[in-house]
Amino acid sequence: MELYKHVSHTAQDALALPPKYLRMYGDFVTKNASAVSQIEGALRSLTYILPGRFRDTEIASESLHSSVQLLSIYHDSLLARAIQRLPALQRPHPSPHTRYTRFWTQKSPAYRRLATFLQVVQYTELLCEMAAKRRGEKARWKAVVILESIKALCRLLLMRLTNSRPLLNPPLPEREADPSTLEEKDASGLESPPSEKSEDTQWTMPRTGLSLPTLPSSSDISGYLLSKALTADDIKPPKALLHRVNGMGELAEVLYILRPVIYAAAMHYWATKNKKSWQPWVLGVTIEYGARQLAKKDLQERRAGGLRALTALERDELKRRGWSLGWWLMRGAFYETFTKAWIHSVTNKLRNKPLLDMAGGIIEDYEFLWDQYYFPTATM
């Protein structure tokens, strides 16, 4: 809680800056979006290399990683506003995820605040766990249960705000536009003057001064037309990209949301006594897999057309949740009994081999996080 108070005070101090400086910073990020994205990526890569190498500085490296992630939320909002200021024809076509989450963030201030808070918790949860671990294993698991409970409460409230629709991860729009496209626009939102190469193929309208886009080459007509074609999901209202759930479907979604809390509480009860205890692992897998099967059964029986009638966004979310089941190989008793030994055997085989030895070293460094902390393998 002290960490969250510190983060909150830091955010308030940032917002308390004069609007002039915030506006200058926003203009800098928008005009140099590619460079800013590269810096963010470089800092994230640095924090990926540090784990396990300097264990005394684990909190410092995770603090850097969390700070970059929190700052990226602000950068995403700046770039999203810059895109919205562009003429409709110049805006990049958003993905279904972006359309859906942008709709709810714009329609409901409560959704936007809850989703942002949930994102902040997810970006700082490992840092909180590291801080709690210094007080002992029981304190660490208590912090994990509290954080998972906070996230579950946020997700239940978000589900309520979206009229019982399944939740997406992340709940906020992602940065999808190529930042370099923003740098080619001037402050008025119009395209930059056409280059010498495009002067012959672009036509400038005399009254407005705007340039019509260049036509594709004759060899790429089909690809050009396919890129402009609309799908059924493109013409649906954003909130129709995810259908409401009820009955068994709503129960399945609630179970899916509560699974991390139940698993963390079970680990707090059993794992502090024996890390190889199978009860938490079996309980967690059963709840998550059961919720998935219950949701699929409900879709098959209640939805006209069954699973084949799902929207692209619903299929992507169902697929993402299916792949996330694989992380159970890295958790609890299964990891302690099987996966850890397999990782050791792989890294031993990679030793003293060019390039492969480096990959084995990175795996060993990350094993420190998988072995000591809960959140590196969390999927929600």
The whole-number pLDDT of residue 135 equals 93
With helix as H, strand as E and coil as C, how does 244-264 read?
CCCCHHHHHHHHHHHHHHHHH
Minimum mean pLDDT among 157-166, 183-192, 233-242, 333-342: which range? 183-192
- Characterize 138-171 residue by residue with b for buried, 16 or more Cβ atoms within 10 angstroms of its Cβ, and e for exposed: eebbbbbbebbebbbebbeebbebbeebbbbeeb
pLDDT of 337 > 70? The answer is yes
pTM for the structure as a whole = 0.81
DSSP string, 58-97: HHHHHHHHHHHHHHHHHHHHHHHHHHHTS-GGGSPPPPHH
> Average pLDDT over the chain, rounded to whole?
81
The whole-number pLDDT of residue 196 equals 41
Tell me the mean pLDDT in the region 218-239: 67
Asked whether the bond before 19 is cis by omega within 30 degrees of 0, the reply is no
The whole-number pLDDT of residue 346 equals 84
Cα–Cα distance for residue pair 185/179, rounded to 1 Å = 11
Alpha helices in 134-247 (DSSP H): 137-161, 179-183, 221-228
pLDDT class for 216, splitting at 50, 70, 90?
Answer: low
Tell me the mean pLDDT in the region 94-112: 93
Cβ proximity of 295 and 253 under 8 Å: yes
The whole-number pLDDT of residue 83 equals 79
Cα–Cα distance for residue pair 354/374, rounded to 1 Å = 32
pLDDT class for 119, splitting at 50, 70, 90?
Answer: very high
- Give the pLDDT confidence of 10-19 residue by residue, as tens digits: 444 544 556 7
Torsion sign across C-alpha atoms 288, 293, 296, 297: negative
Tell me the mean pLDDT in the region 354-376: 81
The whole-number pLDDT of residue 160 equals 96
Q: 201 versus 293: which is more confidently predicted?
A: 293
Cβ proximity of 292 and 320 under 8 Å: no
- Give the pLDDT confidence of 267-290 residue by residue, as tens digits: 999 988 888 999 999 999 999 999
Q: Determine the Cα angle at 344 with ends 340 and 347, to 5°.
A: 135
pLDDT class for 187, splitting at 50, 70, 90?
Answer: very low
Tell me the mean pLDDT in the region 200-214: 59
Under 8 Å CB-to-CB from 371, ≥6 apart: which residues?
335, 340
Cα–Cα distance for residue pair 235/231, rounded to 1 Å = 7
pLDDT of 217 > 50? The answer is yes
Cα–Cα distance for residue pair 242/97, rounded to 1 Å = 10
Tell me the mean pLDDT in the region 360-368: 76
pLDDT class for 227, splitting at 50, 70, 90?
Answer: low
- Give the pLDDT confidence of 32-90 residue by residue, as tens digits: 777 877 888 787 777 666 655 555 567 888 888 898 899 888 888 888 888 777 776 66
The whole-number pLDDT of residue 208 equals 60
Q: 343 versus 56: which is more confidently predicted?
A: 343
- Give the pLDDT confidence of 232-255 residue by residue, as tens digits: 777 788 888 999 999 999 999 999
pLDDT of 117 > 70? The answer is yes
